[in-house]
Amino acid sequence: MLNSSSLSVLIHEQAKVYGDRVALSYRDYDTQTWKPISWNRFSELVSLTSNALMKLGVGVQENIAVFSQNKPETLYVDFGAYGIRAVSIPFYATSSESQIQYMIHDASIRLVFVGEQYQYDTAFRVMRLCPTLERLIIFDPKVQKNPQDQFSLYFDEFLQLGEGLPFADEVQARAAAVQPDDIANILYTSGTTGVSKGVTLTYRMYTAAIPANDRVMHLSDKDVIMCFLPFTHVFERAWSYWCLSRGCQLAINLKPQDIQMTLREVHPTCMAAVPRFWEKVYAGVQEKIASSSAMQRKLMLEALAIGKKYNIDYKMRGIVPPVQLKLRYLFYEKTIISLLKKTLGLENAHFFPTAGAAIPREVEEFVHACGINMTAGYGLTETTATVSCDWHDSPVSIGSVGRVLEGIEISFGENNEILLKGDTITKSYYRKPEVTAKAIDKDGWFHTGDSGYIENGELYLTDRIKDLFKTSNGKYISPQALESKLVVDRYIDEISIIADERKFVSALVIPDYKLLEKWAKENAIAADSREQLCSNPLVIKMMLDRIATLQQEFAHYEQVKRITLLPHPFSMEKGELTNTLKMRRPIIAQNYKDLIDKMYEE
Phi-psi region of 422 (alpha: psi -120 to 50; beta: other; left: phi over 0): left
pLDDT value at position 196? 82
State whether residue 49 is helix, strand or coil: helix
Burial category of 544 from C-beta neighbours within 10 Å (exposed 0-12, middle 13-18, buried 19 and up): middle
CB 413 within 8 A of CB 447: yes
Amino acid sitting at position 67? F
In terms of pTM, does the model score above 0.85?
Answer: yes
Taking residue 554's Cβ as centre, other Cβ atoms within 10 Å add up to 16
Q: What is the pLDDT of residue 466?
A: 75
Whether the Cβ atoms of residue 119 and residue 104 lie closer than 8 Å to each other: no
User: What's the pLDDT at 192?
Assistant: 53
Q: What is the pLDDT of residue 137?
A: 98
How far, in Å, CA of 398 to CA of 363, rounded?
10
pLDDT for res 45:
98
Q: Tell how strand 492-498 and strand 476-477 pair up.
A: unpaired
Quick one: pLDDT at residue 536?
95
Distance from C-alpha of 468 to C-alpha of 485, rounded to nearest angstrom: 16
pLDDT for the residue 501: 87
Contact 34, 265 (CB under 8 A): yes
pLDDT in tens, 15-61: 999 999 999 999 999 999 999 999 999 999 999 999 999 999 999 99
Burial class (CB in 10 A: 0-12, 13-18, 19+), 288: middle
CA–centroid distance for 441 within its chain = 28
pLDDT at 555: 86
Cα dist from 120 to 132, 229, 489, whole Å: 17, 21, 39
- 519 vs 306: CA distance, rounded Å: 30
Which tens digits make up the pLDDT trace of 168-207? 999 999 999 999 999 999 999 866 555 689 999 999 999 9
- Tell me the one-letter amino acid at 548: A
SS3 80: helix
CA 86 to chain centroid, in Å, comes to: 25
Query: What is the distance, to the nearest Å, from the Cα of residue 261 to the centroid of all Cα atoms in its chain?
Result: 19
Q: Which residues of the chain have pLDDT under 50?
A: none
State phi, psi for 560 to the nearest 5 degrees. Answer: -70, 125
Residues 344 and 281: beta-carbon distance below 8 Å: yes
Closest CA to 209 of 233, 234, 179, 178: 234
149: CB partners within 8 A, 6+ apart: 124, 136
Gap between the Cα atoms of 143 and 586, Å rounded: 36
Identify the sign of the CA torsion 162, 168, 174, 177: positive
- The Cα–Cα gap between 400 and 454 comes to 9
| Nearest-10 Cα torsion for 477, 478, 481, 484 | 100
Q: What DSSP assignment string belongs to 444-510?
A: S-EEEEEEEEEETTEEEEEEEGGG-EE-TTS-EE-HHHHHHHHTTSTTEEEEEEE-TTSSSEEEEEE
The pLDDT of residue 420: 98
Distances (CA, A) of 371 to 131, 211, 306, 563: 54, 27, 11, 36
What's the pLDDT score for residue 194?
Answer: 57
State pLDDT tens for residues 288-323: 999 999 999 999 999 999 999 999 999 999 999 999
Contact 120, 138 (CB under 8 A): yes
Which H helix or E strand runs over 376? strand 374-380
**Which of these, 119, 116, 109, 115, lies nearest to 87 by C-alpha position?**
109
CA distance 91 to 96: 10
Inter-residue long-range contacts of 444-448, CB under 8 Å, 24+ positions, other chains counted: 445/411, 445/413, 445/419, 445/420, 445/421, 446/382, 446/383, 446/419, 446/420, 446/421, 447/413, 447/417, 447/419, 448/380, 448/382, 448/383, 448/387, 448/417, 448/418, 448/419, 448/420
For the chain, domains (ranges, CATH) are: 34-178 (3.40.50.980), 468-599 (3.30.300.30)
Task: Label each residue of 391-434 as H, E or C.
Answer: CCCCCCCCCCCCEECCCCEEEECHHHEEEEECCCCCCCECCCHH
